[in-house]
Amino acid sequence: MSPAAPRLPALLEALGQRAPRGMVLGLDRVREALAALGDPHADVTAVHVAGTNGKGSVCAMVESVARAAGLRTGLYTSPHLSRFAERIRIDGAPIDDAALERALSAALERVPAPLTFFEALTVAAFVAFRDAGVDLAIVEVGLGGRLDATNVLAAPLCTAITSIAFDHVALLGPTLADIAREKAGILKPGAPVVLGPLDPEADAAIEAAALAISAGPRLRVARAERGGSAGEIAAGRAGEIAVARAGEIAVARAEPSARATRVVGPGRPALEVELGLRGAHQAENAGVACGIAWQLAGRWPEVERALPAGLAAARWPGRLERIDAGAGQVLLDCAHNPHGARALAAWLDEEGPGAARTALVFGAMADKGWGEMLQTLAPRAQGRLYATPQGRAAAPLDALQAIAPGEPIGDPRAAVARAIEVAGPGGLVVVTGSIYLVGEVRSALLGIAPDPVVAL
């Protein structure tokens, strides 16, 4: 703790005490709190990003590009892996203790009504961005969109929806169209919209929502295709691979082991980039990030020029992140729903060492689609170790064993230690199923003293 932030421990404790209230959707409390603080969000130029999966990666890419262009950036995401400060970043780094103390003091002590944990952090983020004088804030939706606390943004420069899949159905609705309509609640009149590849049902629901409020123009990312070798893409000989149609962003990636990606937008020359983030799915996320950047370039032309450097430099911890654990290699991935598990499975099929040399450490929240996730991932590992994430009720270990035989260890650290033995020399330990599981393991491997786990 820095000497300039003596009250931060007490503020963080007070913040944590609000976690048991859970997620309370609605905007009235947040608007009232922001009004009491002079509406700091009104002073922030922002990009607003929703989506079932991929929104964090897209936010990280856009932030990296904007920073490479020389802009002062703010980034608001959730949840954290180790420390609360990770949720509010200034110029790519977690907010410092003194600034976090000021922002939390405002959100917890100077507002008329008690806020939930997530609402308080959202208000604190807007205070921090105003105080830091950021040029651009990239704001990730927490849950859904329409009633998410971040949706107090009235006039974002651009909005984006990365993907629509089944998650949080009790809150967002049982169909893809229901979920899409909730996420489309972030669209604003006149604000450009960038959409990742969507199923027709979800796309139609978002299109109807956009037309109803005159949001747009709209750019859609086509599903990525593999387009040949990295050399072909770098040489620009893959024109047939990614050719943009009107209103479309076309993306293609190189062979599995490469991160070379080609992105083509309407009326723009092909962009060949090397992505900093691993995984075939990141090509489509890069397409969304490019679409956002092209909108930002209307105000800051340097943003478009910074795309190659920014996309190459982007990092997003806990997403196909490799860590050398001394006795073995550990891959951390925050896949926490079936859609994310399929993306991880695709990476393992293309770039993993094979099931015989892979050990899976899996744990999930009970309210997630853990059965489908495990069915997807279990065949890709020779050994399976089951752990219990912190945060809220977890999937029972015996239920996981009933789907795929494995060792019910419980403690995540012990599970990773055992998995390293199972994978053997040159093998790979994959830790996945829950963001909170990944955060706990990552903190232990890197020697980070974590803040309490809050499953919000």
State the pLDDT at residue 235. Answer: 43
Confidence of residue 20 (pLDDT cuts 50, 70, 90): confident
Q: Among 252, 280, 313, where does a domain finish?
A: 313
Residue with tokens 């922030």: 44
State the pLDDT at residue 234. Answer: 40
Cβ-proximal residues to 50 (8 Å cutoff; 6+ apart), any chain: 140, 141, 144, 145, 148, 159, 160, 161, 162, 183, 186
The Cα–Cα gap between 295 and 62 comes to 11
- Same domain for 297 and 349: no
- Same domain for 189 and 58: yes
State the pLDDT at residue 110. Answer: 95
The Cα–Cα gap between 158 and 180 comes to 18
Kindly state whether residue 2 falls inside one of the protein's structural domains. Answer: no
State the pLDDT at residue 174. Answer: 87
The Cα–Cα gap between 326 and 37 comes to 49
Cβ-proximal residues to 385 (8 Å cutoff; 6+ apart), any chain: 359, 360, 361, 362, 406, 407, 409, 415, 416, 418, 419, 422
Structurally, the chain folds into a number of domains equal to 2
- Same domain for 70 and 25: yes
Q: Among 290, 313, 336, where does a domain finish?
A: 313
Kindly state whether residue 1 falls inside one of the protein's structural domains. Answer: no
- Same domain for 435 and 295: no
- Same domain for 382 and 308: no
Q: Among 294, 313, 332, where does a domain finish?
A: 313
Q: What is the CATH number of the domain that holds 426?
A: 3.90.190.20
The Cα–Cα gap between 128 and 138 comes to 13
SS (H, E, C) 43-82: HCCEEEEECCCCHHHHHHHHHHHHHHCCCCEEEECCCCCC
Q: What is the CATH number of the domain that holds 49?
A: 3.40.1190.10
Kindly state whether residue 221 falls inside one of the protein's structural domains. Answer: yes
Kindly state whether residue 180 falls inside one of the protein's structural domains. Answer: yes
Kindly state whether residue 349 falls inside one of the protein's structural domains. Answer: yes
Boundaries of domain holding 356: 321-446
State the pLDDT at residue 240. Answer: 41
- Same domain for 292 and 418: no
Q: pLDDT tens across 223-282, in order?
A: 876 554 434 444 444 444 455 566 899 999 866 556 799 999 988 889 999 999 998 889
The Cα–Cα gap between 288 and 279 comes to 15
Q: pLDDT tens across 320-365, in order?
A: 999 999 888 999 999 999 999 999 999 999 899 999 999 999 999 9
Cβ-proximal residues to 349 (8 Å cutoff; 6+ apart), any chain: 380
Percentage of the residues of the chain whose pLDDT score is greater than 90: 79
Q: pLDDT tens across 80-137, in order?
A: 999 999 999 999 999 999 999 999 999 999 998 889 999 999 999 999 999 999 999 9
Kindly state whether residue 266 falls inside one of the protein's structural domains. Answer: yes
Q: What is the pTM of this model?
A: 0.92
Phi-psi region of 173 (alpha: psi -120 to 50; beta: other; left: phi over 0): left
Three-state SS at 246: coil
Residues in the chain: 456
